[in-house]
Amino acid sequence: MERINFSTDAVTTEEELREIVGTPHEYVIKKNVSVIDEHCKRFIEMSPLFFLSSSNAEGQCDVSPKGDFPSGVKVLNNKQLVIPDRPGNKRVDSIINMLSNPHIGLLFLIPGLGEVLRINGRATIIKNPDILSSMTFKGKPPLLGIGVDVEECFIHCPRALKQSKAWDTDSWPDKADLPSSLEIFHAALQHNGVELVKK
């Protein structure tokens, strides 16, 4: 298919958008809170997986999955939490984004639960030894931490996870039919002119 010019028939104003999708119920608007209350804290502490969205000063976006043991993310108080940055592949895309744009979004999941917890706030890259030493995993503290000043928390309905059947093991495809991550990785390297060394 040829490249499409999406701007030809684009929605460009909120007024036009509202004419199509309508307006949300008052309950939906007012479910946001600006603090980590008891329920949000418990949700975070039970979540072993979350997604972190960030963008740089130019607006280029990134979403990164983060997995840790439940309660790996430390809630300091009702306005702040800290995300451990464990050793990885050293790309640190999210952290580089935060250096120029501190606004981030977090999406916490609990396996088997359809609802997700959304948190928005401002991030600071921290190296405070007292905080980092309290987040030790397998005998090692994280190299850095992402301190988050929370601005918004709210629960999100289960529709997406229900419709996708993400937690329904009977709906999962056969592993033999899944795309090979190694093949995708190698294809990307070759696309970028990297010659693979055969062993």
Question: DSSP secondary-structure letter at 33?
Answer: B
Q: In the chain, what are the domains?
A: 12-165 (2.30.110.10)
Reply yes or no on whether the pLDDT at 11 is more than 90.
yes
Single out the residue of 91, 112, 94 nearest to residue 102, CA to CA: 94
Q: What is the pTM of this model?
A: 0.91
pLDDT the model gives residue 149: 98
Single out the residue of 128, 116, 103 nearest to residue 159, CA to CA: 116
Which tens digits make up the pLDDT trace of 120-131?
A: 999 999 999 999
Which tens digits make up the pLDDT trace of 160-180?
A: 999 999 999 999 999 888 888
Backbone dihedral angles phi then psi of residue 46, each to the nearest 5 degrees = -95, -5
**From CA 49, how far away is CA 70, in angstroms rounded?**
8
pLDDT the model gives residue 190: 86
Percent of the chain having pLDDT more than 70?
Answer: 99
Single out the residue of 7, 123, 5, 24 nearest to residue 66, CA to CA: 123
pLDDT the model gives residue 141: 93
Reply yes or no on whether the pLDDT at 198 is more than 80.
no
